[in-house]
Structure 1
Amino acid sequence: MNQILTGKFIAQKRKEKNLTQEQLAEKIGVSNKTVSKWETGKCMPDYSVIELLCKELNTTLPELMNGEEDEKSIHTYDNEQIVEMLKEIQDLKRSKSLFIGFVLIIMGVVMIVLSQVFRDTSIQNFLSGFLLGLSIAEFLAGLFFLARFVARKE
């Protein structure tokens, strides 16, 4: 599955139907910027709209994912199975973001505690400050990952 090939295929099928990006976007309930991102290969269609996209472009899901029409190919998966697999992949990506966010927050808290332990000499003060700065960065990165998780969930 190549995002750029898939994007070019979406653009080709859209043009064959004489649709603008805006018209296609309106038919499937997304923004024209989203369609543009698909066509440039910056992202893939979400599993929630992929079946409707295939219907509007008169193509099959395997053809869309491969980025080319292939009448000879034998498709071992039906559309429902492929959509379910795409949904599971996106759920795994969300879970990964959630896990990374929690790990970074926990590491940030541990670093804050360690920074308070090293505070007696000048070298230890330097190390304490470094650990404190690192902990704040990790904590903020963790919050960022959690915010991305929540934003994707909605």
Structure 2
Amino acid sequence: MDQEKIGVFISTLRKEQGMTQQQLADAIGVSNKTISKWECGKGMPELALIVPLCHILQISINEFLSGEHLLENGYTEKAEVNMMNLLQETENSKKKSRSSLLAFGITVIIFLFVVLYSVITNMGISMNMLFVDMPTLLSMFLVTALFLLGTNLGLPFFDSFRIIFGKKKSVSIKQLFQAKSAIKLAKITFLGMGFLESCISFMAIQPMGEGTLLFTGLSISISIALNGILYGLIGFLLLLPIQVRLEIMYMQKQEDSEKKTEDDAE
């Protein structure tokens, strides 16, 4: 869609009806600054506002999306073009969202490992000794999986990734609710297990030696004990944007359902 063209079209129709920006804004329940932004091509009305706006300006939705009055013989052809443009914009939006999630996750992981590397290097400890604590990691994954299976959220957990990355085409409100609940449970469980594993590791620390040897031994033990918290935070932060995205999709689905119910009632 050409936002600038649509903006000029809105401005022209408003002036033809002798309305000010404030009068049009009051009619559809927005501010005059919002109307000004639309007319300057710097934004588009929300979906819920397009129908009342078209009603006030006395145009069809197809004409609004085209940014011009349409003759009868070109109406169907223009409708198809507008539909293809909307589908393309939706696909581009999904790709942008997936790229943002991936970039966020990679950034978080890199940041945490840089911090960990800096701390450990300053202690004079080899990274090979502390980089991966497989027993801790496996126990965290195992308990999280048991929690998901015990609450019948195992399948919704995997479905959530298919929904976010566009592999699952048709999604109901119930499926979105289950998916976001599964991600939330996994996120909290993984983080909680990380802290629990670190607490157990701290309790098991046995100071040995004296002087420099004691300090080095304690540093290594403490760093290893912190692995649980580190893994928990990484898992929590990686799942957080997925949960937020599912929450947004869930609310949008609810709004669409409520609007459809209201339209059917009318």
TM-score higher than 0.5 here?
Answer: yes
Find out whether 1:6 has 2:6 as its counterpart: yes
Change (3 A) 1:98 1:37: farther
Number of the residue aligned with 1:43: 43
Taking the aligned partners of 1:91 and 1:71, their CA distance within structure 2 comes to 29
Describe the superposition over 1:72-117 as per-residue Cα deviations: whole angstroms up to 9, x where unpaired.
3223659xxx7xx96xx67984895586257415522333213432
Q: What residue in structure 2 maps to residue 69 of structure 1? A: 69
Letter matched to residue 76 of structure 2: H
- Are the counterparts in 2 of residues 3 and 43 from structure 1 also a CA contact under 8 Å? yes
Tell me what 1:108 maps to: 108
Q: Tell me the matched-pair count.
A: 125
| CA–CA separation in structure 1 for the residues paired with 2:32 and 2:95 | 28
CA spacing shift, 1:91–1:56, aligned 2, 3 Å? farther
TM-aligned CA distance change 1:90 to 1:26, over 3 Å? farther
**Counterpart position of 1:126:** none
Distance 2:28 2:17 in 1: 14
Deviation of 1:30 (Å): 1.2
Farther-moved stretch of structure 1 (64-73 vs 51-60): 64-73
Counterpart position of 2:206: none
Shift of 1:44: 1.1
User: Which residue type is aligned with residue 12 of structure 1?
Assistant: T
TM-score, structure 1 normalization: 0.61
Report what 1:34 is aligned to.
34
- Residues 70 and 25 from structure 1, CA distance in 2 versus in 1: closer, same or farther, beyond 3 angstroms? same
- How many Å separate the matches in 1 of 2:94 and 2:30? 21
Question: Do the aligned partners of 1:3 and 1:44 also contact (CA within 8 Å) in 2?
Answer: yes
TM-score using structure 2 length: 0.38
Displacement of 1:49 in angstroms is: 0.4
- Residue 56 of structure 1, CA deviation: 0.2
Q: Name the Cα RMSD after superposition.
A: 3.7
Residue matched to 1:59: 59
Q: Distance in 1 between matches of 2:2 and 2:99?
A: 27
Q: Report the CA distance between 1:65 and its aligned residue.
A: 1.1
Conserved? CA contact 1:51–1:61, under 8 Å: yes
Query: Taking every aligned residue pair, what percent have the same amino acid on both sides?
Result: 32
Structure with more contact order per residue of length (Cα contacts < 8 Å, sep ≥ 6): 1
1:38 CA drift (Å): 0.5
